[in-house]
Amino acid sequence: MADLQLHIEYKNLPNKVLMSAMTILFPVWAIFIPASLGLFIGHVMRNPAEIPLHVTILGCVSLIVSVLAFLGLTAYAEDKYIHISKNGIAFPLSFLRILRAGRNRGWTDLTNVELIDYGQSDKSNLIALGFNSGELVPLRTTCIKKQDLEQLLMAIELWATNCKRSPQLISYQNDLQNSHSSSKKGYTQMWEEELGRRFTNTVFIPLEPDNTLQNGRFKIIRQLAFGGLSAIYLAQMNDLDLVVLKEAVVPKNAEKQKQEEAEEHLVREAKFLKQLDHANITHVLDHFFEDGRHYLVLQYLNGQDLRQYVKQNGRVPQEKTIEWAITISDVLTYLHSQQPPIIHRDLTPDNLILTNKGDIVLIDFGAANQFLGAATGTIIGKQAYIPAEQLRGKAVLQSDIYALGCTINYLLTGQDPIPLAIAHPAGILDDIDPALDEIVAKCTAFEPEDRYKNIAEVGQALKELSAKFKANTPIAIEASSG
């Protein structure tokens, strides 16, 4: 897949006026002046002594310069696109008066982006791009289509990782994402294409059934999941017990130093995860390395993941969703309290198992996946559950809070949330409690600092809401026979 490129039309008034003028004057500069030049040269050739040489030269040069000037002005007016790619941003020719050093800028040149709102009307909104050369490029929001504007801001978020964005701009971007449903298709498409591009450098072929590992200690029964740089298998250990094998590979085309770092961290994380002891976390039984691949041996659980559950049974009632979310928040509290803290990075309905006993158990760990991502430039996790900072490779504890909010949204609605948008299940279903909708929205806020401070706060909010639901639940009293 080719690298993501955007071509955003910038319709400013001066260019519109100039282009209209060039269109009106087209017969003059495209037909009349060239025809006049031809007639003038023909007349001079027929009567060489009639017109002085310097007049002939001046006349020809003037007519030629006039045509070239009109052509240049037309090209200037027609150049109305801002071109964006992973390498940087290229502005139209009309910005050359501001960008003295040329129209192209790399993302590392962009130092800050601000929204300038004069408080009069939307027409006075400006997005100001500041570069390290001291140049400030103003873009009027009314000169860019809403969908293109959303994608421009996403590109800045995605590629200009060292750029400072003002709170006003972040708020404006959030409003764009949540207010213009017509732009979601293009916005999500951009998101998916970029993630797809990041996976193009990985080549990974999973194991087939009946393959054996460690001299027959493990026999592959079937593949459970596959994606990116890893696969998950159901396997039999020592011809007796069923276990789950999580397989990960560091591609050989990665930089040698990063490859070595990733392999070192995979081993370290595997040893660390073996020490975890929580009733709602699948146990890591062992780890080993074979044929250039790393393996985690995980406890096998009888049950189904929450995505399968929702597909078979429909959306989950609010009370049950809250109960499960409290369990998940307790698990994340345990992980985040480890030294060093464990950020799961891949919390989705697919990685949560409802066992046959009715327990919610977290499976699979994204802790080691971050190092694979650093080595290959890939992003680990289901697209709709990845917050912006994790996309940039800067996952924090609040990143798991974002994924939890997205998971709650899925359980309530049966739909994956829109990527990088604040989730509001009440906007999909009328019967969602406003307090629960508010919890989900706060969990999925665009910026980490706008979410809950820590996972314990989420758990407390859910427990308080659970108590409210239980208090409002009617108690059935069986009438006694008299």
Of 269-273, 319-323, 334-338, 397-401, least confident by mean pLDDT is: 269-273
| Spatial CA neighbour of 406 closest among 392, 414, 416 | 416
CATH of 82-198 given 1.10.287, 2.30.29, 1.10.1760, 1.10.3470: 2.30.29
User: 405-436 burial, b for 16+ CB within 10 Å, e for fewer?
Assistant: bbbbbbbbbbebbbbbbbbbbbebeeebbeeb
| Spatial CA neighbour of 332 closest among 341, 340, 323 | 341
- Model confidence at 361, pLDDT cuts 50, 70, 90, reads very high
DSSP 8-state symbol, 209: T
Q: Which CATH fold topology does 304-472 show? A: Transferase(Phosphotransferase); domain 1 (1.10.510)
What is the CATH superfamily name and number for domain 212-299?
A: Phosphorylase Kinase; domain 1 (3.30.200.20)
Of 3-7, 65-69, 86-90, 375-379, least confident by mean pLDDT is: 375-379
pLDDT higher for 327 or 206?
327
pTM above the 0.85 mark? Answer: no
| Spatial CA neighbour of 250 closest among 291, 210, 283 | 291
pLDDT higher for 466 or 196?
466
Mean pLDDT of 227-244: 82
| Spatial CA neighbour of 447 closest among 109, 157, 181, 152 | 157
Q: Is 296 helix (H, G, I), strand (E, B) or coil?
A: strand
- The pLDDT > 90 percentage for the chain reads 26
